[in-house]
Structure 1
Amino acid sequence: MRHSNRGPSAAAENRAALIKAARQVFASDGYNAPLSAITRAARVGQGSLYRHFPDRISLALAAFEDGVAELEALAARPGTTLEEVLDLVTRQTIDSTAFIDMVRAETHDTRIADIRDRVEALLTAPLAQAQRAGRMRADLTPGDLMLAIGMLAGILAKLPASDRQRTAEQAWNLLRVGLNGERPAG
């Protein structure tokens, strides 16, 4: 399929189409989905992809930025609980395990480390509030929560989308035993 070249005037539109397509393709096919599937979904050529995003990480970071910003905004709102933040993380993970796959990837790319640090940092204040309220163990760290989120994403990535919500609820019920000493529901 040939794409007509609309020139520089289409640059912003092409970039937006690539980000939207990346979100959809990563959500359905995972972080390692072929980039050609993204360009097909965006209805742009490979050249447009690489003009805007020189590598997979650049594209993924752009695709996931809105989700991270949404988490940061929620965590910064006064009175937000850790449970609310973890609920949003879980909803985002159910929708697309690709983000967690990216931040858990064994890489020394500082861009991934920076995004991982942002997510870990946004957990700090809600975790401290939950610990002061006695809802989480005092010795837990944001890194421990990142590990729990990664474990959840690893499970969800292997399941069809239709089974993710139920499985996420079961997994959090089990994880709560270790995080705060609660007995599992059910």
Structure 2
Amino acid sequence: MTQQPMSDARRPASGGPKAAARNRAALIAAAREIYAEHGLDVPLSAIARRAGVGQGVLYRHFPDRAALAAAVLEENVRQIERAAQETDLAGLLGVITWQLTESAAFISILHTDSTGTVPAYAVALSRRVERALRTLLPQDHPLASEPDDLMIAVAMVSGAVTGPTREYRERRARAAWRLLGVEVGPARPVEV
């Protein structure tokens, strides 16, 4: 028996561009959560399930694992840039601390690869984070004394963000900031 195509009247609405944007945002949020819990090697089907969409929707937005990881990192940086416009330095460092603890799985891909080269996208993201931080960094701040000190401090803290739970990673990040003599506000995401 041949199945007849559904008429337009019976075909469910796709939701259009608004649904596509919601699905993309849900996939990024789900990926961030699952990567924080299980690392980057988690099956993409688990991310689609957590987002409440099918795998086809995931692949429509992100053709591969690298594209999804890049989208999560891009969203992290956008939130940092937005926070730089809405808070003070301690608050921004709190947002960065939250990002580091939630995205600890990404830290290794932001540093050097097997050839000793930092990936170009990681350099671009790092520059955007640095610009956001510099908008709030007073000239007399301890991290402003040398040109590279600011991002070296962020790299040092990111290196300390290891451990099995988000809470444990946050404690380590806060300890690293404290050892650097830097005040950090509450570790929190940017409200969307």
Per the TM superposition, whether the score is higher than 0.5 is yes
Distance in 2, matches of 1:105 and 1:26, equals 20
Structure 1 position 136 matched with structure 2 position 142: yes
> What stretches of structure 1 of length at least 5 have no aligned partner?
1-5, 180-186
Query: Equivalent of 1:117, from 127, 131, 155?
Result: 127
Match of 1:168 in 2: 173
Match of 1:24 in 2: 33
Q: CA deviation at 1:30?
A: 2.6
Q: CA deviation at 1:123?
A: 2.0
Cα root mean square deviation, aligned: 3.1
Residue type of the alignment partner of 2:83: L
- SS of residue paired to 1:126: coil
- SS of residue paired to 2:90: helix
Match of 1:150 in 2: 155
Q: Could you tell me the percent identity over the aligned residues?
A: 42
Residue type of the alignment partner of 1:153: S
Query: Equivalent of 1:57, from 66, 90, 93?
Result: 66
Q: CA deviation at 1:23?
A: 1.9
Kindly indicate whether the alpha-carbon contact (under 8 Å) linking 1:28 and 1:96 is maintained by their aligned counterparts in 2: no
Relative to 1, partners in 2 of residues 1:8 and 1:41: Cα closer, same or farther, differing over 3 Å? Answer: same
Relative CO higher for 1 or 2, CA cutoff 8 Å, sep ≥ 6? Answer: 2
Relative to 1, partners in 2 of residues 1:24 and 1:72: Cα closer, same or farther, differing over 3 Å? Answer: same
Relative to 1, partners in 2 of residues 1:152 and 1:108: Cα closer, same or farther, differing over 3 Å? Answer: closer
Q: Which is richer in helix?
A: 1
Q: CA deviation at 1:110?
A: 4.1
Relative to 1, partners in 2 of residues 1:166 and 1:109: Cα closer, same or farther, differing over 3 Å? Answer: closer
Q: CA deviation at 1:135?
A: 2.7
Relative to 1, partners in 2 of residues 1:71 and 1:111: Cα closer, same or farther, differing over 3 Å? Answer: same
Distance in 1, matches of 2:120 and 2:171, equals 34
Q: Which has the larger radius of gyration?
A: 2
Match of 2:5 in 1: none
- SS of residue paired to 1:84: helix
> What stretches of structure 2 of length at least 5 have no aligned partner?
1-10, 183-192
Match of 1:36 in 2: 45
Q: CA deviation at 1:43?
A: 4.0
CA distances 1:69-107 after superposition (whole Å, capped 9, x unpaired): 232123235xx5433322221122223323544433637
Q: CA deviation at 1:22?
A: 0.9
The answer to which of 104-113 and 46-55 deviates more is 104-113
Relative to 1, partners in 2 of residues 1:109 and 1:8: Cα closer, same or farther, differing over 3 Å? Answer: farther
Query: Equivalent of 1:75, from 84, 94, 97?
Result: 84
- SS of residue paired to 1:33: coil
Normalising to structure 1: TM-score of the pair? 0.68
The number of equivalent residue pairs is 165
